[in-house]
Chains A and B, each alone.
Chain A
Amino acid sequence: DAGITQSPRHKVTETGTPVTLRCHQTENHRYMYWYRQDPGHGLRLIHYSYGVKDTDKGEVSDGYSVSRSKTEDFLLTLESATSSQTSVYFCAISALPTGGSDTQYFGPGTRLTVL
């Protein structure tokens, strides 16, 4: 199994509060991703990183920011949480652009509830 951990695994917070989710990898992979999973939508990309301090937006990036100051850590921040951000959040890693290493491996997920 790929060495990916997410913290916290569960969090309940109130509308308007800031929230930071952490993804940590031990694989030294270049690419890291944040997804959210909601019923009826599969997984949707929020942001991704292709190196330290290099990030780009995904399809549902509004209301989220990310940071990557070290290869092993990728942080997802909700500056002011809203109820629409209640979801399960997954981190993933891949070793792009090495040939054949495009497969993404996923962390265990974080269930976030915004009241």
Chain B
Amino acid sequence: AQTVTQSQPEMSVQEAETVTLSCTYDTSESDYYLFWYKQPPSRQMILVIRQEAYKQQNATENRFSVNFQKAAKSFSLKISDSQLGDAAMYFCAIFSGSRLTFGEGTQLTVNP
């Protein structure tokens, strides 16, 4: 079994500032992938970023980057230069054994 924990139910950030969302996970698998998904009010699940566990280099997608600490089983998401459109629910997820397991989500508010 695998688990994902997001300890911050809500976070807020000022526009143009940087925010970090936390995620820890647990799995017995050696081969797995980690994801952050964004869910705006439209309800659509949108892939933000993906990290292969065998890669040491942290993934980056424009203003979004991760801090992947494999030994600590930590996978945080950093959003730089926050924009109003970043306001959404963010889900951390782990994929292994053909299954994707999600955390409970962090609601991000961006203040103008």
Interface mask (A28-45 → B, CB under 8 Å = 1, otherwise 0): 000101000000111111
A105: chain B residues within 8 A (beta carbon): 47
| A3 partner residues in chain B, CB cutoff 8 A | none
Contact with B along A85-115 (1 / 0, CB 8 A): 0001010100010000011111011000000
A42, B103: Cα distance in complex, Å: 6
The bracket for how many chain A residues form the interface is 20 to 34
Q: Report which of A42, A96, A109 forms a contact with B98, defined as CB distance below 8 A.
A: A96
- Chain B 78-112 against A: per-residue CB contact (8 Å), 1 yes, 0 no? 00000000000001000100111111110000000
The answer to whether A108 touches B104 (Cβ under 8 A) is no
Residues of A that sit less than 8 Å from B by CB: 31, 33, 40-45, 48, 50, 56, 58, 88, 90, 92, 96, 102-106, 108-109
